[in-house]
Structure 1
Amino acid sequence: MPEPSPSVWMRPERPPRDRRLTRRQIVRYAVEILDAEGSRGLSMRRVASGLGVTAGSLYWYMTSKDELLELALDEVLGEILDGDAGERSRDDWRGALAQLAHRNRAMLLRHPWVLSDLAGTPNLGPNALALGEAGLTVLSRAGFAGADLDAALTAVNDHVIGAVTSELSWRAAMDRTNAAEWAEQAGEFLRRVAAEHPLLGGRMAATVTVDAERECERRFAFALDCLLDGLEARRATGG
């Protein structure tokens, strides 16, 4: 079994023991489980059983479920990377940064378990590092430097995470409730809200017929444009 370390990425990857099993196979199957059931459904025994091997076979490649989560996280972060982002950033830093943000959002919607496991999992894999370098390169070429470089990238990443967290909650609520039936049952309540809080009441009533997926995408793009406008203003003034 590999020696424990702060991160699975801090030691060399072991070569496959035989042709039946590789670390990549293990990680890809773990991602399938995570997508279907979240981290609660993931265990070394579960992965081993699905791959038709013993749980002990997995420990040749990783020491624990936590390390498997590290590997799975970096696997899906690779979906965000885009080979032309660096070239595009030379002339269009806003477009390049927006592209990374939209691809990040799409990845998180495909793999919502990432949001719950991101904070407690070391983020030191090759895809994570390449993704961070790509974002910093875009902003550096735009003129950001030093601590502002870090803060600008964090602002964009925080927007993505916050927006997707809110979107997933809204979608879950919409899935549990038929909007038309809810509006009919809550009609009197909505009228009271509108009487006391007309702007809020109007917007609450408008959500009854809204297409949640399109509206979430529109709101994400709107807020991202506002954020990029702010970064553009700071870049232009040098502050």
Structure 2
Amino acid sequence: MTVWDRPEPPAPPAPLDRERIVAAAVALADEGGLEAVSLRKVAARLDVGPMRLYGYISTKEELFDLMVDEVHAEILPEVLPGERAGGWREALRDRAHRTRRAVHRHEWLADLLGGRPALGPNALAVTESTLAALDGLADVDTVLRAVETVSAYVTGAIRREVAHLRAERATGLSDRDWQRASGPYVVRMLATGRFPALARAVHDGTEVDAETTFATGLEWVLDAVAARLAQGTTNTPGN
């Protein structure tokens, strides 16, 4: 039985429910990451005994599931797929950017993306909206592979961006400081002539911010999805 199937216990003398528990857990994670979340710490934040929480949540993993679903409410589209002017492409673009913005508000979410599908009501509503935007454009398998491909890009790009932010905090060095510190070494290595492609990238490439990088890569992935949808059928390796 999932945590969503299990009813909450009768109301105790001091008010407590899953909504309050999850809100406290999200606040702790926003402040200190997932390592700051435990049933004991959540109980302390709510000023109740830890055993009180076990009537509502059995494990920390269930608590994480509830936290992920809580944040998925922020990813839900504001416009229904059938009412969106840009069609399926705008629907997937919107989900991608809303997911990225949610991670910037709740950095810990990046650590929980990409595993097993989230099954909470908000997460299911996000998935339903995404699939509905593509419904009827191709066979079901093609639609599923399209959604999986975009999701894989979004998860990977977001995790890379968060890892970059964490590295900045861990070292105390901004990008400019890091480049200044590592610059002499990189110059020496490129001067050896062993890395001509990398040298061209360093000398001739244009540096852009994280949001532009994310948006550009997303459009390229959507271009590939559009090309596959135009063919109308799945072409998996080995077939």
TM range (shorter): 0.7 to 0.9
Choose 195-204 or 102-111, whichever is displaced more: 195-204
Matched with 2:214 is 220
Q: 1:183 to 1:55 in 2, by over 3 A?
A: closer
Residue aligning to 1:103 = 98
What is the RMSD computed on CA atoms of the aligned residues? 2.6
Matched, 1:188 2:192: no
Moved more, 30-39 or 16-25: 16-25
Provide the rounded CA distance (Å) in 2 between the counterparts of 1:149 and 1:96: 13
Cα distance, 1:192 vs structure 2:
2.8
More off after superposition, 183-192 vs 122-131: 183-192
Query: Equivalents in 1 of 2:113, 2:96: separation in Å?
Result: 16
Unaligned runs of 5+ in 2: 234-239
Kindly tell me: are residues 50 and 106 of structure 1, through their superposed partners in 2, closer, same or farther at Cα, counting changes over 3 Å?
Answer: same
Measure, in 2, the Cα distance between the counterparts of 1:154 and 1:122: 11
Q: 1:65-76 alignment to 2 at 5 Å?
A: 65-76=60-71
Write the mapping of 1:1-239 to structure 2, written as runs, cut at 5 A: 5=1, 7-14=2-9, 16-18=11-13, 20-89=15-84, 92-118=87-113, 123-141=118-136, 143-175=137-169, 176=171, 177-195=173-191, 196=193, 197-201=195-199, 203-204=201-202, 215-239=209-233
Query: 8 Å contact 1:78–1:127 — kept in the other structure?
Result: yes
**C-alpha contact (below 8 Å) 1:190/1:205 kept by paired residues:** no
- Deviation digits for residues 144-194 of structure 1, max 9, x if unmatched? 331111111111111110001111122233442244444444333222333
Equivalent residue letter for 1:223: G
Q: Percent identity?
A: 35
| Distance in 2 between residues matched to 1:92 and 1:120, nearest whole Å | 28
Q: Distance in 1 between matches of 2:227 and 2:76?
A: 27
Cα pair 2:81 2:87 within 8 Å, conserved = no
Summarize deviations over 1:32-68 as a string: whole Å, max 9, x none. Answer: 1112222222111111111111112212211122211
| Runs of at least 4 residues off by over 6 Å | none
Q: Deviations over 1:80-111 (max 9, x none)?
A: 00231423447522112101111011112222
Give SS of 2:74's match: coil
TM-score, structure 2 length as denominator?
0.84
Distance 1:64 1:162 in 2: 28
* Shift in alpha-carbon separation, 1:17–1:122, aligned structure 2, 3 A: farther
Question: Separation in 2 of the partners of 1:10 and 1:104?
Answer: 26
- Amino acid paired to 2:47: G
| Aligned counterparts of 1:50 and 1:98: Cα–Cα separation in 2 | 37
Distance of 1:216 and 1:128 partners within structure 2: 26
Distance 1:199 1:180 in 2: 23
The residue number in structure 1 matching 2:236 is none
